[in-house]
Structure 1
Amino acid sequence: MATVAFLGLGVMGYPMAGFLAKAGHRLRVYNRTASRAQQWLGDYPGAAFATPAEAASGAELVFACVGNDNDLRQVVTGEQGAFAGMGAGSLFVDHTTASADVARELAEVGAERGIAFIDAPVSGGQAGAEKGALTIMVGGAESDYQRAQPYLDCYARATNRLGPVGSGQLCKMVNQICIAGLVQGLAEGLHFARAAGLDAEQVVEVISKGAAQSWQMENRYKTMLAGEYEHGFAVDWMRKDLAIVLNEAQRNGALLPVTALVDQFYSEVQALGGGRWDTSSLFARLTHMRPFDDSDH
């Protein structure tokens, strides 16, 4: 069993670090809000530290799952950052959904210190993290990926290396592009079903057995029809991810008209006060927060 550090104990990092601890690894954790780290210690064995550098000291691998590029830089660089505490030959595994640029940037900084770096964003949401069933997309050297894989397997159902550093983040961008289009299509389909006087749940029961089936349909249609959005992946975070996607597309020349449009729709959900709602709240935008009843048909 290894000594490992985990930086960031949010809705994703908390259970991920927990799975590493349950596997028998010696966990050293850091969270910006210290009370969260103390809560984690009430559930799992380990030790909490006041800075990323202290948590990373003596760790063979350091994992991070924070909010965005700037959050990642803050926990990695500087006198109190993880790199300051990591020794040559150690490995940094970043689970943050961030830009490919920051992954390459930090990989270069780490290389100067003899620290390896892989970007490993995840898909599967809070439920996937809590079940230990995440999908992990990795960018980095094959040897670094092989070194990390036994640890990733503690909370993943699938891991894949896509190429050099930054490739994991690029793959996650593809993931978010596809999700954005699927959720908007599902929202419009359910909206149309109700407007046409159909039983929307019955419609889904039928079409989910055919080519229209998707994870979003199976896992979100009931809460969408009930107008329940206090769960899942927040709109604010999706807009952060789509901003990364659209910025990358400007540089690589990819045409993403639907993604750009859905991003605008999410801004309207934010204007409705739904920044913390699940991404399936695109349906709320169409129904203006008003459920259909017989008088609507």
Structure 2
Amino acid sequence: MTVQPTVALLGTGTMGAGMARNIAAAGLPLRVWNRTAERAEPLAGVATVAGSVAEAVDGADVVLTMLYDADSVAATMEEARGKLGADAIWLQQSTVGIAGTERLARLADELGVAFVDAPVLGTKKPAADGALVVLASGPQQVRDRLAPVLDAIGSRTMWVGEAGAGSRLKLAANAWVFTVVEGVAESLALTRDLGLDPRLFLEAVQGGALDAPYVQLKGGAMLDGSFDPAFALSGALKDAELILEAGRSAGLDLAALPGIREHFARAVEAGHGDLDMAATYLEH
């Protein structure tokens, strides 16, 4: 691999578009592809927009997947079969859970490429700002070769073990994110239904040990009705189900997540799935 690897980024949605712009800004040759082609076209000024997966990955040093779930990632990489270079690295950054990661690792073996499992912490704005935290896991021998890509998309990279460890840590982190979001929604709803201005809850915790920037950010969005998706509720529901699946596989009794999953599902069923996950508040 050259000092500046050629990158094929597959999936230019909410996260992938910002990541693509930062990879290009770092001076790395970039091809992009998206199943809905119009979503890739705005990147034409900084990247080569490929008409097919095969075209995107042909000759690429790093193939980065940022797609919705394990099924979409697997289907996309099947389209790359026969076009991947012998030294190519598959940088899998979608949130697909434990079983999904194992499935994709097996596919990587079939395709004959090195597999790095590297989901990220952060949503739309950190992706656009190049400020994601990368939870990377995979073979030691490819880590230095991935550094230019990971440095472009993130503020820091944690290497946490063999492939699969990154996805396990991502589930634990998302469990905390969802607990905070749902906890804020419930506290606001309780304040409201006890006859008070719900903003009093945010004011009461502000600046103290119980506060966090995320509490104020999501709480303010809930009360302002500002639900431009940084992390869509439908995706949060998908990830909540992955967390519950992981807990069951580990024999762990997760107390909060089943209720959080039900509240997310209720909001999705009410038609809020394309809104930010803060829209769970709308069904409280």
* Structure-1-length-normalised TM-score: 0.88
Contact 1:63 1:92 survives alignment (8 Å): yes
Deviation, 1:103, is 2.3
After superposition, what is the alpha-carbon deviation per residue over 1:83-120, rounded to whole angstroms, capped at 9, x for unaligned? Answer: 42111122110111112233233333334554111111
Query: Where does residue 145 of structure 1 map in the other structure?
Result: 143
- Cα displacement string for residues 213-237 of structure 1 (whole angstroms, at most 9, x for unaligned residues): 2343131121211233233211111
The SS at the match of 2:235 is helix
Q: Does the aligned pair in 1 maintain the 2:187–2:201 contact within 8 Å?
A: no
- Quickly say closer, same or farther: Cα 1:36–1:271, change in 2 above 3 A: closer
- Aligned twin of 1:182: 180
Higher relative contact order (CA 8 A, sep 6+): 2
Residues 220-276 of structure 1, C-alpha deviation per residue, up to 9 Å, x if partnerless?
Answer: 121211233233211111111111111222211111121011101111112222111
Closer/same/farther in 2, CA of residues 199 and 102 from structure 1, 3 Å limit: closer
Aligned to 2:265: 267
Question: What pairs with 1:251-262 in structure 2 (closer than 5 Å)?
Answer: 251-262=249-260
- Counterparts of residues 1-297 of structure 1 (less than 5 Å): 1-41=4-44, 43-44=45-46, 46-77=47-78, 80-81=79-80, 83-286=81-284
Relative to structure 1, the CA distance from residue 215 to residue 162 in structure 2 (aligned partners, 3 Å threshold; closer, same or farther) is farther
Percent of aligned pairs with the same amino acid: 29
Q: Equivalent residue for 1:289? A: none
Do the aligned partners of residues 143 and 214 (structure 1) sit closer, same or farther apart at CA in structure 2, a change above 3 Å counting? farther
CA contact (8 A) 1:135 1:159 kept: yes
SS in 2 for 1:135: strand
Which of 218-227 and 191-200 deviates more? 191-200
Give the TM-score of the pair, scaled to structure 2: 0.92
**1: CA distance between counterparts of 2:108 and 2:183?**
42
Please state how far the C-alpha of 1:158 moved relative to its aligned partner: 2.1
Contact 1:142–1:161 (CA under 8 A) maintained in structure 2: no
Whole-Å Cα distance in 2 between the matches of residues 25 and 240 of structure 1?
A: 32
Gaps of 5+ in 2: none
Flag the 1:87–1:264 CA change in 2: closer, same or farther, 3 A. Answer: same
Gaps of 5+ in 1: 287-297
SS at match of 2:157: strand
Residue 197 of structure 1 and its aligned partner are, at CA, apart by 4.6
Deviations along 1:125-173, one digit per CA (max 9) or x if unpaired, are 1111111111111121233233213311112112112211111111111
Aligned residues: CA RMSD: 1.8
Letter in 2 for 1:50: G
Report Cα offsets for 1:43-99 as digits up to 9, x if no partner. Answer: 41x21222212211111111110111110001112xx32x42111122110111112
Q: Aligned partners of 1:3 and 1:230: how far apart in 2? A: 33
**Looking at CA atoms only, which structure, 1 or 2, has the larger radius of gyration?**
1
Measure, in 2, the Cα distance between the counterparts of 1:143 and 1:211.
Answer: 42
For the residues of structure 1 that align with 2:225 and 2:49, how far apart are their CA atoms?
A: 39
